[in-house]
Chains A and B, each alone.
Chain A
Amino acid sequence: MVDLLRRLTRRKLSLVSLLGAAFFVLLALIGPFFAPYGMADLGDEALAPPSAQHWMGTDAVGRDVFSRFLHGSRVSILVGFVAVGLAMVVGTLLGMVAGMAAGRLRDSVIMRFMDVILSFPLLVLVPVITGVIGQRDLHLGPIPIGPEALVAAAIGIVLVPLFARVARASVMAEMREDYILAVRSIGGRGRDILFRNLLPNIAAPQVVQAAFGLAMAVTVESAVSFLGLGVQPPGASWGTMLADARQHLLFGAWWLVVFPSVAIALFVLVFNLLGDLLRDELDPRAKTTNVGNGKRSAGNGRRRNTGETTGQADGKVATTMGASTR
């Protein structure tokens, strides 16, 4: 882990993306404590441009945009992390089980279910899930499930196939490796194979996928909230802020649009970059070839990869992964 951090900070681009990721995490964790006003506090002046008093101006009903931005960032980023966390755990497990049973009924059932999820466009499925479930007041034990948690869960469900497919593919490749045969020949249990032998060897692509998934989750959350189907007012997220800003753009209220938009763009950029760099650094086979003069060619490969995939947050990573690991 320390070694990985050291390698990631060695290059300027990866240092920037790491710092960016850290910034967004901090923003979500402690940002709201720095808010000068309450999220829904009405000020005296509506649609005021940025000033010393209101760093990002005020909105149509006079709320401080900076305060709303800090609160909204927490929601957007948290939704992203929760969704990806959920999708990663569920997807990886399902994918691994499917991969171990490749060709058998269990595999078919799991993967066809993933296909069903994949067959709906993201922006359709998430509102449907939140819309159908969100009509009633939900409680998880004593804790009420807010619309934010619901959106996170819905995005999580939609992202499950992303992880399941990559996990299945990696597991199927690993299952053919001699060490899996060796583990089985020595009487290894199913859980030995699954968690001790397969998981560490397929973890790297999953982590990479998580970085891309984060960018995707935040985009989806913003889009869904923008459409009014995700986080509900008066709650703030980058998406709802953009939705509020829409009507006032024509009147020149640029400050309503710029800050959330830039935040979304930067978030996606930072996590896509991070995903790319992690992919290069976590490739277990690259580690051994990095010794000696392998370093230079690996560096070249990195630069080219970054160019190719920056800004892509879709499942294509899986195929490039496969090609670069062999």
Chain B
Amino acid sequence: MSQQPNGHQEGGLGPADEVLRVRGLTVTYQSRGRPVPAVRRFELSVGRGEIVGLVGESGSGKSTALKAILGLHLGAETEVKADELVLDGLDLRSLSTEQARRIRGGQMSMIFQDPINSFNPAWTIGSQFRRVLALHRPDLSRSEYDDEIIRLLADVGIDGRGKLKSYPFQFSQGQLQRIMIAIACASKDLKVLLADEATTSLDVTIEAQVLELLRRLRRERNLAMILVTHDLSVVAEMCDRVVVMYAGEVVEVADVYDLFERPQHPYTQQLLKAIPHFPHGGGRLYAMRGAVPRLDQPISGCTFAPRCDRHLGSICDTVPPELRPTANTGGAVAACHLIGRAEPARKD
């Protein structure tokens, strides 16, 4: 993990060995003829072997941003724009459709929340796995596929012998999630693994196994990962750095310890406050008032202003805050008018 007090470029973290860099990412859906800016001014930077958490409420644009990074949005109704989208020195925006396809699953893969539905029910596991090897492992001949699949499955703790002819429904959810990880990591050039709520649908014991598996992959293959989750305990356990999203925008980026110890953005502060602590005094649990704003209507000022406990007055309602460096180290930033004011942001 990188700790670089002043090495960051403006507007984002700059880890020492950067493998993925996203700047100014905007994703706009068309919904009933109206544009819905689901992700705005998204920024992210991931270093080699670093695990970055992407947290936020449902509908805050986490998954949308992740899909945009991998180029999975299609259709006339979704518009993706970015100022910078660079994977290991390669500008992803300049790629042809065919080149972009090779990147997917080759250098950057994604694992999904629902392993059961992520497999084609009509084909055996072995047949689906072989297709992926055919796409991304030119070093292997067809006769070597099955041995390699067994090896890759063994890597994720599944004994694949005799199971390649089984259909997805013959496996448990935890097994399928691990098979999906094995498939996603089949390429030798893999640099970044995107995990979209990859452990949300698993029970706690299986979740722990999968998280351990991801951690081991990071250790052994120096993979960078982006974990999208709304489970802050997963973040605390797994991540080096955290990006907090709210209503389609990045509101705070910080080292995982700083984020939990010294959250700078009021949203992060209120989010952490909403975690129930045990034992607690028996009083009411803290709940953030209000709801996520509708994105199909224009928002003036700070998106979080209507729910903010530390509202500053008219500036919050009229001027959208920029991401600014905070008191935290490692190039931490937050988008709040409180940052850098004469009265420093205090910890609640």
Contacts and interface: CB of A to CB of B under 8 A. Distances in A.
Interface of A: 102-104, 177-179, 181-189, 192, 196-197, 200-201, 284, 288
Given A189-B101, A196-B123, A288-B169, A182 B135 contact: no
B117 interface: yes
B76 interface: yes
Interface stretch (B84-92, B108-116, B300-308): B108-116
B117 A183 contact: no
Interface in B106-138: 106, 109-110, 112, 114, 117-123, 131-132, 135-136
Q: Which 10 A-B pairs have the closest CB atoms?
A: A187-B105, A186-B105, A200-B122, A187-B104, A178-B117, A182-B118, A185-B110, A178-B118, A179-B120, A103-B76
Interface string B70-110: 10100111000000000000000000000001111110011
Given A103-B76, A104-B75, A178-B114, A185 B70 contact: yes
Contacts, number: 74
Contact of B112 (A104, A181, A196): A181
A184 B104 contact: yes
Nearest to A107: B76
B25 interface: no
A192 B67 CA distance: 20
Nearest to A178: B117
B178 to A, nearest CB: 15
Given A189-B101, A189-B135, A182 B75 contact: no
Contacts of B72: 181, 184-185
B22 interface: no
B183 interface: yes
B135 A188 contact: yes
Given A103-B77, A186-B135, A192-B131, A179 B119 contact: yes
B13 interface: no
Contacts of A181: 67, 72, 112, 118
A197 B112 contact: no
A196 B131 CA distance: 10
Given A103-B77, A178-B112, A182-B112, A187 B102 contact: yes
Given A178-B112, A185-B109, A187-B106, 12 more contacts: A103-B75, A104-B76, A179-B117, A179-B121, A181-B67, A182-B112, A186-B136, A188-B135, A192-B131, A196-B120, A196-B123, A201-B121
Contacts of B132: 186
Nearest to A181: B72
B101 A187 contact: yes
Contacts of B101: 187-189
A181 B104 CA distance: 11
Nearest to A189: B101
A179 B104 CA distance: 15
11 contacts: A103-B75, A178-B114, A181-B67, A181-B112, A183-B120, A185-B70, A187-B101, A187-B135, A188-B131, A192-B135, A284-B121
A186 B184 CA distance: 7
A185 B76 CA distance: 19
A87 B189 CA distance: 45
Given A103-B75, A104-B76, A192-B131, A185 B104 contact: yes
Contact of B180 (A177, A182, A189, A288): A182
Interface in B166-185: 169, 180, 183-184
A185 B72 CA distance: 7
